[in-house]
Structure 1
Amino acid sequence: MGNQPKFWLTSAGMFLLVIGTFALRAEEALVNLAANSDSQDEAWLGELMQVLDESTEIATKSRLNVDYVPGMVTVLQGRELETLGMRTVWEALALIPGVMLLQGKRGELFVGVRGFTSPFNSGNIKVLLNSSPMSRESSGLTSQALSLPIEQVDRIEFIRGPNALFYGDFAYYGVLNILTRQQTSQVTTRVDEHGTTTVSGLYADQSEDGVTRLSLNIAGVAGHSVEAPVGVNVKNDQQSAILMFAHRGFELTAQGINEDYAIDQGVSRDQHTETLIARQSLDLAHDAQLRFSLGYLNNDFEEGLEHFLGQVWEGRAELTWQGMERHQWLLQLSYTDDRTEQARRGLVPAPPDFRPRIIYDVNRRYYGISLQDQYEASDRLTLTAGLRFDHRDDLDQDLWSPRLAVVWRISEGHIVKAQYAGGYRAPTFWELVIPTYQKNLEPEKIGTSELSYIYRKTDQTLRLTLFRSKINNHINLIEPPPPVTFVNSGTSKATGMEIEWEQQWSPRLTSWFNLSYADSRSGLYPYLLGGEMIEKDPSTADWLGNLALFYRPTEHTLLAAYWNYVGARHAEGVDTDPEHRVALTLNLFDVWTQGMTLRFGVRNLLQADQRFLVSEPGRVTSSDFPDSLVWGQISYDF
C-alpha cells in the first residue's frame, strides 16, 4: 500500500499530460459539445440497449449484414467492450462462441477455436490490424496485436473457421480483423491495483467536404503485467501507434507496436512490429471497381538466445464487377516476398553450453489467385462459389482452396446458411528450415462444413450453428534421437454446435448469451511417429459459455456484468475444474461535463482459480494466474 499515493499521482500526471497534448482541440470541441443537446455517449448508449444489425466485409469483401454473409462472423464493438471492462483484444475474444483463451508461462497470448489449439501463431489464426497482416505467421510468432488496448479499438471482426479464399496462408482456425478508432478525438487513462497504467490518445480530423481525413491513435502500457503467472514478477512496457491519412480513394496507414516484457524469473522478451500500407481505390465504371495495395511488414523478436528478424512485402489487387445481372464477381491477385534476414533458434531456458544455430537470408515467395461469384438466384436466395490457387516457391507446390455457400432468407425473420470452406497453413520457418531445409514437407489442410439457422426480430436474435472440421497432413515433430525433424502425419476432427442469443428485455436491460460445444480428436503425436496419438488436446475444453448483462438505471449510468465459463480441460494429471470468471463494471457518463466518462470495475469477482494449459510437443505446460483485479478508468471525448 505504500506505493499507492505515488501510483495514483503518476497516473493522474500521465492523464493530464495527454490532455495537454490535445489542448489545441479542446476549446473547439467544447463549443461543438455545447451546441449539441445529445452527447456521443448518449447516441451509442441508445444503440447498445438495442439488438442491432451489424455489417462486415471480412467474409466476402462486399459489405453485408453479418447474418447474410457465408459462414459465421462475430462483430464486437469497441465501446461495448470497454463497457464490459475488457482490457485488451485478447480478453475480448473470449466473448466469441467457440473461442477459448490460452496463455503460456512467458506471457504468450493464444486462442483455441472450436476444439483446436496451437502453441504458435496466436493459435493458428490469421491476425489483421485494419485489414493488414500484423504478424509473421511464417515465423510462428504470436501477434502483438492481441495485446492492443481496447481503448484503441473501434470494432473486432472474427470468422470462425478457415477462409483461405481471400486471406491465403494461415487463415486456418479463424480470421481476426482488428479495426482501430479513426473518427473521434479522445484521451483515456486506466489504472489497476497491480500498478499497471494504460494511457491512450486519439486525434481525428477531416476537411469540410470530408474528402481528406487524418487520424492518430496512440497508446502506452507500463507497469506490472496483469497476465503474469502467480509468483512471477513481470514489468511490461508496450507502445502502439496507428497513423492514417486518406484523400479520396487513396489511403496510407502506418502501424507500429513495441513491447519490452521483462521477467524476474526467466528470459525477457523484446519485440517490435511495424507496417506501412498504401491503398488506392478506383471506379473503372459504374459496375466495376479496382482496389490495389502495397504493404511492408517488419518483425524483430528476441527472447534469450532466440532471435528472429525479417521483412515481408505484399502486393494485392482486387477487381469487383457487377456487369452480369444478379452476379457480383471478385478477382483477387496477390504476391508475397517473405525474407528472413536473421534467425537464431534458442531453448528457453537454455543449457549453459548451448550454442544456437544462426541462419541468414532465407526467402520464401508465393502468389495467389482467387475468384468468387455471388449469385442472387432470387430475392431470398444467394449462392456464393469461390476458388483460390496458390503457388509457393519455397515448397515448390500448388495449392487449391475452395468455398461454396448458400444463404436462404426463408422469410423476414428466418435465415438458413450452409457453407464449406477450406484453408491451409504452410510449415513455419522453424519447421521448414531447422535443422535442414525440408522441401518435401507439405502444408496442413483444413476443411470445415457449417449449417446455421438464424431467427431475427426487433428485440431478439437467435443463432444455432452446427459445424464439422477435418485437418489432414498434420506437421508432427520427431524427437528424440537427434536430429530434430518434422513429418506430415495424422488427421484431426472436430464436431460441435454453437448457440447465440441476444435479447432486449426492456429499454434499460439487454443481454448477450452464447454456449458452444466441441468434440475434437487430435491427430498430433507426442514426439515419436508411431506412438499413441494425443486423441484429446489436453489444453481444450468441450464446453464454453458467456453471459453479458447491460442495465441502464439512469440516463448517465450503465452497469455491466460478465460471466465467462470454461469447462474442465482434458489434461491428465492436472486438476482443471470448470472455471467461472465473473466481472462487474460501473460506467458513469457525462461526469462534470459532456464527454467525460468514469469506469470502475473488478475482474474475477469470485476469485476463481485461473489456470491456462498449453499443449506443446510431448508435454503440457500449466500456469496459474492471479485472482481478482480492481481497476478504474477516466476518458474524455472531444
Structure 2
Amino acid sequence: MVTKHRLKKWLFGLGLTGSLAGTASSSWALDEAAALAEWQAFLNQQTELVTRTKLNADFVPGSITVLHGETLVRYGAKTLADALALAPNIDMQINLLGQRVIVMRGVGAAFSNSSVKVMLDGVNTVHASQGFAQTLLHMPVEQIERIEIIRGAATVVHGEDAIAGVVNIITRDTPHAHLAVGSNGYRGASISQGSDLGSGRVRINLSAWGHQATGVRAESDAVTVFSDAVNERFGSSFGFEQYSAAPGRVNNQRAFEQLQLGWQTDQTQLSFAYNRLRTGDFYGVIEFLPPSDERYAQTYEDYLISLNHEQALTNNLRSVTQLSLSQLSYELDTLYVPNLIPGSVVNNLQQGVLSFCSSQPEPMNCINEETSRLSFLPGFLEQQSYINQVREQQVQLQQQFIYDLNSAHRLLFGVDVRWVEITHAAAEGIQNLPSNDHENVKTRFGSTGDSRHTLALFLQDEWRISEDFTLTAGIRWQQQWVNYTDRSKDNQKLADPWQDLEVAKVTPKLAAVWQVAPKHILKAQFSQSHVTPPINQVTDVGNLKPGEVRPEAAQSDHYELGYVYAGYVQTHRITFYHSEFAQLAAGTHYYHYFRPLNASEFGQTDYAGLRQIRAKGVEWDADFRLGFRWRGFTNLSINQTDDLSGNAVVGSRPYLGRLGLDYKFNDALHLAGSVSYAAPLALEPYDDRDDLPSYWLWNAAANYMLPVRGWRARLTVNNLTNVQVASPSPINVSLSQLAGKPTAPYANGYLHEGRSITLSLDYQF
C-alpha cells in the first residue's frame, strides 16, 4: 500500500511537473492528482468483517472483496443480487420459485442459501427454517454504502451459516433521493436522510421498487412433459397437455419495500429494519406452471432490531456488545395446475394401460409395473391451492472483549448465544387433503415450537510478529440443544434422531499475512467450518432405516494461498483455494440428488447420493485506473467443484470472468459498462442433457450530472444483447422412469429476465 509520505511526495511531483509544463499541463496534473487521491481512498477501505479489527481489506487474512455503493450505481446495478453478480467467483442463480441463489465457488445451487451468511449491518438474516435470506438480495444499491464479502469459511468469528462465505451489507448514511422508471413496468424510489440529535445522530432510509411479469415464457412443464411421455409410451394421445398453462408466460413479477431507522453516538448504535419482498410463483411449486394471473404468490417479511455498544474498560481493554432480535417469515400461496382434469381423461389413460399391457408377454406384471409408474399422478390432477407458512424468531447476543497486550499483539475473546424458534408453521391444500392430514404435516417448513439454542465461545489471537508479518490464530467451540418435532409417521419415528446435531463442534483457523515488500503481500490460511442444516430439511426423518446417516452438521476444511500486488494505480489479487465439504444438508429442490438413486430405471448409472464435495481453483481480481478518466475492475475464476468422483456439482461452472470499465468523459458525464462470461453450467451426473450453455452478458450505463447542483440522471441497459440466461432445473425422477430417459419439466432451465432499460434521477442533499 502507498504510505501517506509517498503519496504526498508523488502528488507534489505531479504538481511540480505540471507547473513547469504550463497552464494546460497544470490543469491536467491537478485532475490527475485529485483522481489519484480519490483512487487511494477507494483502495484503502477498512473492514472489520474477518477479524473484527479495522484493517485495509488487502491486509486481512483470506479472500475478501469490498464493493462500493457509489461504484455499483455508476455501473447500473439495481439490487444487491446485481452487485454480487459483479464480484469474483460468485454466480447469481434462481430456483423454480424464483428465489435468488448465491453460488460461491460453485457451491450453492442445490443447497438453498444455507452455505452463505447474509447480514445487514452485522445482523444475520438467514432463515433457520429454510436456510435462505431472500429479502436483502433485493435491496436497492442506492441504500448501500458498501458490501463486504468473504469467500471461504468464516465460522470462527461468524459461526454457523458461514460455511462457504459471508456477505455483509453496510447501510448508506448520506442524504439522497432516487426515482426510477423502466421496462416491464419497473418503478423504484428511495430516500435517505440523517441529522444530528443531541449527542447522537438519527437517520431514516426508505425504499421501494417493483416490476411486472417480464414476458419470459416456459415452453413446457411437468404436465406437458408427462403428456408427451404417456402418449409416446402407449402409442396414443390422451390430451393431458391441454390442461397445462405451458407453453405460457412465467409470473416473475417482484416488489420490494424497506424501512430503516437508526440512532447512534460514539459508543452506541440502535437500528431497526423492516424488509418485505413479494414475488410471483414463477415455475410452480412442483414445476406445474401456474397461470400468469399477475398475483403475488410469495411474501417474505423481516423485522430486525439491533443494539451495539462499545466501551473502553481500561486503556488496553474494550468491550463490544451486540444484541439482535429478528422475526423472519415466509408465505407461499400458489397453485398446482391451472385447470380441472376430468376423470374421463384418467379413465382413458387406464384403458390405454390395459390395451398396451394386453400385448405384452406378462400382462399382469405389466399392468402392475405401469400402474406403479403412474402412481404419483392422481394426487396432482385437480386445480388446487397450496399454502405454506412459517414464521420464526431469533435472538442473538454476542459479547466480545478486545485486549491489546501491546502495540503488536491483540486478543479477541467472544461469547455468542443464539436462540431460534418457529412461532408459527402451517400447510394446507397439498393433494386436497385436510389441513391436519399427515401429508400436510410432512410438507410444511417445520412445526410450531421447533427451537434450538446455541452457545459458542471463540478466541482469536492477532500477533504482528514484525512490521511486515502478522499471524492470526482462532478457535471456536460451539454446543447446541435441539428441540424439534419429528414430522414422520408414528411408526417411523426414531429415538433421538438429532443427536448428531447436538455434538459439540470445535473449529480452528490459522492465517498469516506477510508484506514482502511495500507493494507485495502474501497470504495463507487454513480454517474449518460447520453449518447446522435448515430445520425443514431434517425434521422428516422417519424414512431413514437403521444404520442410515441421521441429520448432522455439515463441516468443511478450507485452505487458501494468496498474493496481492498493491500498486499506485492498480491492485491485483490472486488466490488459490481448496475446500472439502462433508455431511452436506439436503437441498430444498434436489431431494433425490442427496440420496441413493436407482438411475438405471431411466438408462443412467446409479448414483450413491451427494455427501461430500470438493471445491478447488484459482481466482484473480484487479482494480485499476488509466489516467484520471478511466478506471475499472476485472476478475476471473477457474474452478473445479465436484463430488470427489469427478462429477461436477450442480450449478457449478469451470470458469467465470468479468470486466468493468468506467470512463469519465468530463465532470458531467460518466460512461460505464461491464461484460461477464459464464462457462456452461453443470447439471446432475445422471442427466444426459447438455450442460446449460455459456453466455456473454453486457450491461451499460450513462451517468449525467445535471447543471442544477446535486442532480444526476442515469440511463441503464442491463443484458444489452438480450441473451438467454438460465439456472439449472432438476430432472423429475418419476417422469424420467416413465419416459425411460432423464426428463426435466423445464428442459432449458429456469430462464432469467431478458433485456431491461431503466431511467433514474438522483439528488444528493
TM-score, normalised on structure 2? 0.71
Partner AA of 2:148 in structure 1: E
Instruction: Give the superposition deviation at 1:577.
Output: 2.1
Q: Which residue of 440, 443, 447 maps to 1:356?
A: 440
Larger radius of gyration: 2
CA distance in 2, matches of 1:100, 1:575: 16
Is 1:108 aligned with 2:99? yes
1:199 paired residue number:
189
Residue 280 of structure 2 aligns to a residue whose secondary structure is: strand
Is 1:130 aligned with 2:121? yes
Q: Which residue of 306, 314, 319 maps to 1:290?
A: 319
Report the more deviating stretch, 595-604 or 233-242.
233-242
Instruction: Give the superposition deviation at 1:627.
Output: 2.5
Instruction: Give the superposition deviation at 1:258.
Output: 1.1
Structure 1 pair 604–498 and aligned structure 2 pair: CA distance change class (3 A):
same
2:751 paired residue number:
624
Mind listing any 5+ residue stretches in structure 1 that lack a counterpart? 1-41, 482-486, 524-532
Is 1:536 aligned with 2:633? no
Instruction: Name the % identity.
Output: 22
Partner AA of 2:184 in structure 1: H
CA distance in 2, matches of 1:506, 1:611: 38
Partner AA of 1:103 in structure 2: I
Structure 1 pair 50–299 and aligned structure 2 pair: CA distance change class (3 A):
closer
Is 1:312 aligned with 2:363? no
Partner AA of 2:315 in structure 1: H
Is 1:181 aligned with 2:169? no
Mind listing any 5+ residue stretches in structure 2 that lack a counterpart? 1-32, 219-248, 282-289, 334-386, 483-500, 587-593, 599-607, 734-742
Structure 1 pair 229–123 and aligned structure 2 pair: CA distance change class (3 A):
farther
Instruction: Give the superposition deviation at 1:270.
Output: 1.4
CA distance in 2, matches of 1:333, 1:66: 25
2:52 paired residue number:
61
Residue 420 of structure 2 aligns to a residue whose secondary structure is: strand
Is 1:407 aligned with 2:513? yes
Instruction: Give the superposition deviation at 1:45.
Output: 11
Determine if contact 1:110/1:123 at 8 Å carries over to the other structure.
no
Q: Which residue of 139, 144, 149 maps to 2:135?
A: 144
2:470 paired residue number:
382
Partner AA of 1:452 in structure 2: G
1:484 paired residue number:
none
CA distance in 1, matches of 2:731, 2:532: 19
2:180 paired residue number:
190
Partner AA of 2:440 in structure 1: P
1:369 paired residue number:
457
CA distance in 2, matches of 1:570, 1:303: 29
Instruction: Give the superposition deviation at 1:119.
Output: 4.0
Instruction: Give the superposition deviation at 1:138.
Output: 4.1
CA distance in 2, matches of 1:633, 1:508: 23
Structure ranking higher in helix proportion? 2
Is 1:323 aligned with 2:405? yes
CA distance in 2, matches of 1:278, 1:178: 17
1:226-258 CA-partner distances (Å, limit 9, x unpaired): 697662134432211111111331111001111
Partner AA of 2:721 in structure 1: L
Partner AA of 1:297 in structure 2: S
1:222 paired residue number:
210
Partner AA of 1:362 in structure 2: D
CA distance in 1, matches of 2:215, 2:528: 34
1:490 paired residue number:
611
Instruction: Give the superposition deviation at 1:125.
Output: 0.3
Instruction: Give the superposition deviation at 1:338.
Output: 0.5
Determine if contact 1:119/1:616 at 8 Å carries over to the other structure.
no
1:441-498 CA-partner distances (Å, limit 9, x unpaired): 21010121000111111111111110000011233544899xxxxx997321111001
CA distance in 1, matches of 2:97, 2:134: 14
CA distance in 2, matches of 1:194, 1:254: 32
Q: How does 1:395-434 map to 2 (within 5 A)?
A: 395-434=501-540
Determine if contact 1:239/1:259 at 8 Å carries over to the other structure.
yes
Determine if contact 1:277/1:293 at 8 Å carries over to the other structure.
yes
Report the more deviating stretch, 108-117 or 437-446.
437-446
1:444 paired residue number:
554
Is 1:612 aligned with 2:612? no
Structure 1 pair 225–92 and aligned structure 2 pair: CA distance change class (3 A):
farther
Structure 1 pair 336–626 and aligned structure 2 pair: CA distance change class (3 A):
closer
1:273 paired residue number:
302
Is 1:459 aligned with 2:569? yes
CA distance in 1, matches of 2:663, 2:107: 35
Instruction: Give the superposition deviation at 1:353.
Output: 4.2
Structure 1 pair 122–47 and aligned structure 2 pair: CA distance change class (3 A):
farther
CA distance in 2, matches of 1:226, 1:50: 40
1:258 paired residue number:
276
Partner AA of 2:584 in structure 1: H
1:637 paired residue number:
764
Q: How does 1:546-557 map to 2 (within 5 A)?
A: 546-557=658-669
CA distance in 2, matches of 1:229, 1:117: 25
2:264 paired residue number:
246
1:545 paired residue number:
657
CA distance in 2, matches of 1:43, 1:615: 53
Instruction: Give the superposition deviation at 1:307.
Output: 1.3
CA distance in 2, matches of 1:575, 1:173: 24
Q: CA RMSD in A?
A: 2.7
1:318-356 CA-partner distances (Å, limit 9, x unpaired): 100002452100001011111111224679xx5344851
CA distance in 2, matches of 1:134, 1:140: 10
CA distance in 2, matches of 1:154, 1:244: 15
2:497 paired residue number:
none
2:226 paired residue number:
none
Residue 304 of structure 2 aligns to a residue whose secondary structure is: strand
Structure 1 pair 415–479 and aligned structure 2 pair: CA distance change class (3 A):
closer
CA distance in 1, matches of 2:718, 2:276: 26
Is 1:213 aligned with 2:201? yes
Instruction: Give the superposition deviation at 1:44.
Output: 9.2
CA distance in 2, matches of 1:125, 1:494: 15
Report the count of equivalent residues.
577
Partner AA of 1:218 in structure 2: L
Is 1:601 aligned with 2:716? yes
Instruction: Give the superposition deviation at 1:534.
Output: 8.6
2:674 paired residue number:
562
TM-score, normalised on structure 1? 0.85
Determine if contact 2:317/2:403 at 8 Å carries over to the other structure.
yes
Partner AA of 1:583 in structure 2: N
Instruction: Give the superposition deviation at 1:569.
Output: 1.2
Residue 82 of structure 1 aligns to a residue whose secondary structure is: helix
Structure 1 pair 410–169 and aligned structure 2 pair: CA distance change class (3 A):
same
Is 1:582 aligned with 2:570? no
CA distance in 2, matches of 1:140, 1:276: 20
CA distance in 2, matches of 1:516, 1:507: 28
Residue 176 of structure 1 aligns to a residue whose secondary structure is: strand
Determine if contact 2:64/2:148 at 8 Å carries over to the other structure.
yes
Structure ranking higher in strand proportion? 1
CA distance in 2, matches of 1:332, 1:616: 45
Structure 1 pair 62–44 and aligned structure 2 pair: CA distance change class (3 A):
farther
Report the more deviating stretch, 472-481 or 265-274.
472-481
